[in-house]
Amino acid sequence: MSEAGPDLQVRVAVIYYSATGNVRGMARAVAEGAEGEGAEVRLRPVAELSEELRISADQYWGRHRSEVDEGPVARIEDLEWADGLAFGTPTRFGNVAAQLKVFLDLAGELWQQGKLIDKVATSFTSSQTSHGGQESTILALNNTLYHWGAIVLPLGYTVHEVFNGGGNPYGASFTSGHSVDGPDEETRLVARAQGARLARVAQAIRAARESGLLPAGKTALP
């Protein structure tokens, strides 16, 4: 740390699952928001688990799959690397998509080592209908984050646009209908604001740790 403050750029990982592209569009906006605050960002989809044959039989799922096929997927190391974590999932029967859940379940070792303590973490979602389970999905996702000892960061009504872009203070939420074209501009704006807030708060926590104000996370496991 220098007199001017922490030397290191805050690190944000935006980790998501998206079958047809809506959550991917939101994830990009969250990443843009974090980058706008000077964060180093890793934008990563989790690995696909469904059979390729099943995916390609679905026009929109297959198209999206071929678009993201080449890039890097999220790794558990990304959780350790990041100061701030944003998780995105489509609403699946009011819950987290299995692909993202499997990724989260692989974090047991990091959890055991106390390495997820004080990560600042936030969640976002897309669902077909406005009452189709956006809140329940985000709350279900956040349950994992509480177990990690993460600092769960809600969106709140921190920017006025939340009132227009879904109105959900739990986290940016897109009501997609049958669209697979990604979120509208209002939702993108809210997602960007969520990413920016994540980067700012993660930076503050990082600075507190570097200055000794906040001790390094330690597990209390027996």
Ligand X SMILES: Cc1cc2nc3c(=O)[nH]c(=O)nc-3n(C[C@H](O)[C@H](O)[C@H](O)COP(=O)(O)O)c2cc1C
- Taking residue 217's Cβ as centre, other Cβ atoms within 10 Å add up to 16
91 lies in the binding site for ligand X (CB under 6 A): yes
20 lies in the binding site for ligand X (CB under 6 A): yes
Binding to ligand X (CB under 6 A): which residues in 180-209? 180
Residues in contact with ligand X, counted by CB under 6 A, come to a total of 20
166 lies in the binding site for ligand X (CB under 6 A): no
6 lies in the binding site for ligand X (CB under 6 A): no
Nearest to 6 by CA among 200, 196, 208, 201: 208
Span near ligand X by CB under 6 A; candidates 4-12, 49-57, 127-135, 198-206: 127-135
Nearest to 48 by CA among 29, 28, 32, 67: 67
Q: At what angle do helices 185-210 and 22-36 cross, to 10 degrees?
A: 50
Of the pair 120, 138, the CB lying nearest ligand X is at 138
Of the pair 89, 203, the CB lying nearest ligand X is at 89
Pair of tokens at residue 87: 């998780």
Ramachandran bin of 118, using left for φ above 0, alpha for ψ from -120 to 50, beta for the remaining angles:
left
Of the pair 113, 128, the CB lying nearest ligand X is at 128
For residue 125, the minimal CB distance to ligand X (Å) is 8
Among 18, 123, 187, 203, binds ligand X (CB under 6 A): 18
Angstrom distance (rounded) from CA 57 to CA 12 = 35
Angstrom distance (rounded) from CA 191 to CA 104 = 21
Return residues touching ligand X (CB under 6 A). 18-24, 90-94, 126-129, 132-133, 176, 180
